[in-house]
Amino acid sequence: MRTYAKVLAVSAAAALALSACGRGGDTPASGSGGGSTGGAAAGGFAANSLIGIALPQKTSENWVLAESLFNDGLSGAGFQKDVQFANGGVGEQQNQIQAMITKGAKVIVVGAIDSKQLGTQLKAAKDAGITVIAYDRQLQSTDAVNYYIAYNNEKVGELQGQALLDGMKAKKANGPYNVELFAGSPDDPNAQVFFNGAMKILQPKISDGTLKVVSGQTSFNQVVTQGWKAENAQKRMDTLISANYQSGTKLDGVLSPNDTLARAILESCKQAGIGTPIVTGQDSEVESVKSIVAGGDYAQYSTINKDTTNLVKATIEMIQALQKGETPKTNATDDNGSKSVPTEYLEPVIVTKANAAEAYKGTSLEQYTK
């Protein structure tokens, strides 16, 4: 998910969020806001009810932006809100969700750190009649989730895979191309979906010899990056270069699942002096957008525009429909291992130097495309 907004005074709010790790919004005393006793979606609830927002760790700009947008958007819609980050890990997020239940939240929106470790809390929410919305990351192996809202993450992976092929072809018309693969954190269900989407595009080219993964590391479990941490990606890239690209073998491209990891991968290549491979990304982080637009040595090739403003706005619209006793708008279903969850997918956009100005027109990122 990501980009910067067309709304409100987001830049100031996001800066404040960075300095206030884990701060909450307006939180009524325990039991206020009207404890849910059942069927929130069916019967609606008071317009000033408490809404809980449980976000993961602040690992990228998009999560910081989401915090400020939820705080501003929910207040503007007349709700009380409790917006929390779980920078202390899964246990902290479990406690935060349980506290939201105790405070009487009518809806809890969850961006999970680990999508399989919240079953007890989600069941408690269901038993209390609270509507649970999985935000950006699906909540897995539980029937206690009512809705899922995200960008189409398989499509994200497909766009990344195609961008990798297009970028390498633009530099060298014909293969074979030497590539390496990276995936996100294994405790984030999106990481597998991104990788699967990319491999739908790349695997046929690996099979026919157009692409050669020199390290031989092609399975998801071999290429994951624990915690989505840049230092983990850079360490693995250092190892890959040392083992496979020190004797003149050229590295043509790297599949990177997001911008933070893309920059770490490129830094590793720069330090090793092996030249600039085509590197993909996701999230439209400012430094990556600058790199893509500037071009040149060790520049990132592409990112994905997943406008956080639109995702938060759509989530709040879903909450408003629930408050009125209406069924929220959805356009798909997603199997989380226990049920088919009604889902609203938003469409991601691939961004390269060629279309950056158009992609970010009217947003706070537009200034970096000139």
User: pLDDT by residue (tens digit) across 101-135?
Assistant: 999 999 999 999 999 999 999 999 999 999 999 99
Ordered by start, the domain boundaries in the chain are 10-151+306-348, 153-305
**With contact defined as beta carbons under 8 Å apart, do 113 and 93 qualify?**
yes
Identity of residue 220: F
- Other beta carbons less than 10 A from residue 103's beta carbon: 19
Check if 10-151+306-348 and 153-305 are the same fold.
Answer: yes
State the alpha helices, DSSP H only, in 172-307.
Answer: 189-207, 220-223, 230-244, 259-272, 286-294
Give first-to-last CA distance, the chain, whole Å: 24
Q: Between the CA of residue 260 and those of 47, 225, 275, what are the distances in Å?
A: 39, 11, 19
Residue 287 above 60 pLDDT? yes
Fold of 10-151+306-348: Rossmann fold (3.40.50)
Q: Distance between CA 97 and CA 119 in Å, rounded?
A: 11
| Closest to 259 in 3D by CA, of 233, 295, 226 | 233
Confidence of residue 25 (pLDDT cuts 50, 70, 90): very low
Q: Environment class of residue 216 by beta-carbon count within 10 Å: exposed (0-12), middle (13-18) or buried (19+)?
A: exposed
Asked if the 153-305 domain carries CATH number 3.90.1150.10, the reply is no
Partners of 177 in beta bridges: 211
pLDDT tens for 310-365 read 999 999 999 999 999 999 999 999 999 999 999 999 999 999 999 999 999 988 89
Predicted structure pTM score:
0.78
Confidence of residue 29 (pLDDT cuts 50, 70, 90): very low
So what's the pLDDT on residue 59?
77
Peptide linkage before 348 cis (omega within 30 of 0): no
